[in-house]
Amino acid sequence: MGAYCLKPNSGQTRMTNALPPANDNSSAKSAPVCAICGRPRAEKYSPFCSRRCADVDLYRWLNGKYAIQASDEPDEESRDVRDEDE
């Protein structure tokens, strides 16, 4: 059984197979997953699943694979503090 679908900008209506998938779980909450490997998180190591994945993440930070971008310009507060020191 199909559904009627309007093609955008065409003004035509046509028959399509627009049935939702049988296992449509998009509305169900999914369990949080490990930030490294995608397995279910362990509360003890959250947001990771294990000590190993936590260590992999730490290793990446320590070796510079992750970086927080810093601005080249100092913000106004730090400029004010420097002006007061002089």
The per-residue pLDDT for range 18-75, each reduced to its tens digit, is 666 666 555 556 889 999 999 999 999 999 999 999 999 999 999 999 888 887 776 6
The per-residue pLDDT for range 76-86, each reduced to its tens digit, is 776 666 656 55
Burial of 47 (0-12, 13-18, 19+ CB in 10 A): middle
